[in-house]
Amino acid sequence: MLRAKHIGKNYSSSLSPVLSPEHKPTLLESQAIGTVATAQANFMRVIVQDVANSVKSDDDDDSSKTGVELLCVVRAVLKKIRRKVLVGDKVLVGSIDWVDRRGMIENVFHRRSEILDPPVANVDHLLVLFSLDQPKLEPFTLTRFLVEAESTRIPLTLALNKTELISEEELESWKIRLRSWNYEPLFCSVGTKDGLDAIAFILRDQTSVIVGPSGVGKSSLINILRSNHGGGEVEDENWFEPMLGNKWFDDQRVGEVSSRSGRGKHTTRNVSLLPVSEGGYLADTPGFNQPSLLKVTKQSLAHCFPEIRNMIEGEKCGFRDCLHIGEPGCVVKGDWERYPYYLQLLDEIRIREEFQLRTFGTKREDDVRYKVGDMGVKHAEPRLVPKKHRRESRKKTKQTMISELDEFEDEDSDFDIENDPIVQAIENEKKQQ
């Protein structure tokens, strides 16, 4: 699910240097700065935030181009150096056709945060949404989502939907249980609209991502949070405001829970950045039931459990690389509820890391390489994937054909034609005639 990393040092190359967030490039008439609102297949929909001064002066209204939606493709060199463009990215768009509203993303501004699964950039807050019933809340699945969310180091809120489907006793039991996990969840109901004001207050004026399994009510919650758009006080600089009549920003599709499996159906199929009534934006993401944990290591896993963080806050373990599995001097005891979940996830991550080490090793080459040309001038070019873009040599092709022919001849020599039943049947028919 939430594979994430916070960006520290700027990555740059002469092919396409990363732009800092404060950088204000001089724009041509065919260029603009915007935010990626959604991505589908090979196309990005970008909402324009800023254009060249000459374009502004040519229009009667200075903001006539602000909020325009552009259908864009990504510049080929960005793909070659494996610089991904994500929903939420601030981008530089060039080669714009203002009539047909098309363009090409030429570069990406530096991100303050990044989530790789689901792919969203510049996220301020995470809302982990689960349902108490239909589909039923499973503690281990909830733990996997929370571990992924904690690994991003982005502030998170846990919300539990469909409170109307369980009794007061069950609700109180979950409150006590989750507090022992060191979480203060918000209980809400999209059906009765109970508890939604608290969620809207937390998410206001931020770019937030809602994550959780299919069928828990993510799209329904977003539709309600956006339903009063335009009625309240919204930020002045809401770049999405002119686009609210566009079908791309209509209500999100809502599906029902499967009666056979008891799980949600995959209704949302791509990531979309949507404006909300209280200001800020929400990213609706496809639901899934098994977060990957690919960016969680065996050393970082413990920091994704608030229970362990509290235990080692005042007293440190005897070893710096302690995995809290009974090592001498370890201060983490196994008398808390989620300790078996911790051990299960630790085993899973260990197996994965050992497989990756055997398969890929530890070497990681840069995506850009430099060649020295005439007069000692260095030229940057993308580093292609080994053997992916190379044609097989004639010698190897010929050797392969010869080895295949030899194998065929060996098989043919082992074939006993006299005792073959089909051949015998044909000979018998000839004799009868």
Q: Are residues 315 and 272 in the same domain?
A: no
Q: Are residues 214 and 178 in the same domain?
A: yes
Residue 236 lies in a domain: no
Which residues lie closer than 8 Å to 177 by C-beta, 6 or more apart? Answer: 337
Residue 353 lies in a domain: yes
Residue 130 lies in a domain: yes
Contact indicator for 174, 132 with CB cutoff of 8 Å: yes
- Name the residue with tokens 């080692």: 312
Q: Are residues 97 and 71 in the same domain?
A: yes
CATH number at residue 33: 2.40.50.140
Report the Cα 183 to chain-centroid distance in Å: 24
Q: Are residues 213 and 323 in the same domain?
A: no
Q: Please report which confidence band the pLDDT of residue 372 belongs to, taking 50, 70 and 90 as the band edges.
A: confident
What digits encode the pLDDT tens for the residues 33-51?
Answer: 999 998 887 899 999 988 8
Q: Are residues 129 and 275 in the same domain?
A: yes
Residue 291 lies in a domain: no
Residue 251 lies in a domain: no
Which residues lie closer than 8 Å to 162 by C-beta, 6 or more apart? Answer: 131, 132, 133, 134, 189, 190, 191, 216, 217
Q: Are residues 274 and 224 in the same domain?
A: yes
Residues spanned by the domain of 179: 120-228+267-284
Domain count across the chain: 3
Residue 129 lies in a domain: yes
Angle at 363 between CA 361 and CA 367, to 5 degrees: 130
What digits encode the pLDDT tens for the residues 177-216?
Answer: 999 999 999 999 998 999 999 998 998 889 999 988 888 9
Q: Are residues 325 and 214 in the same domain?
A: no
Q: Are residues 101 and 146 in the same domain?
A: no
- pLDDT, residue 415, reads 54
Residue 100 lies in a domain: yes
Q: Are residues 159 and 271 in the same domain?
A: yes
CATH number at residue 125: 3.40.50.300
What digits encode the pLDDT tens for the residues 81-123?
Answer: 888 899 999 999 999 999 999 999 999 999 988 887 678 999 9
- 3-class state of residue 71 by DSSP: strand
Phi and psi of 408, rounded to 5°?
-65, -40
Q: Which residue has the higher pLDDT, 2 or 208?
A: 208
Residue 317 lies in a domain: yes
Q: Are residues 181 and 321 in the same domain?
A: no
309, 332, 360 — which closes off a domain?
A: 360
What is the C-alpha separation between 55 and 28, in angstroms, rounded?
9
Q: Are residues 106 and 124 in the same domain?
A: no
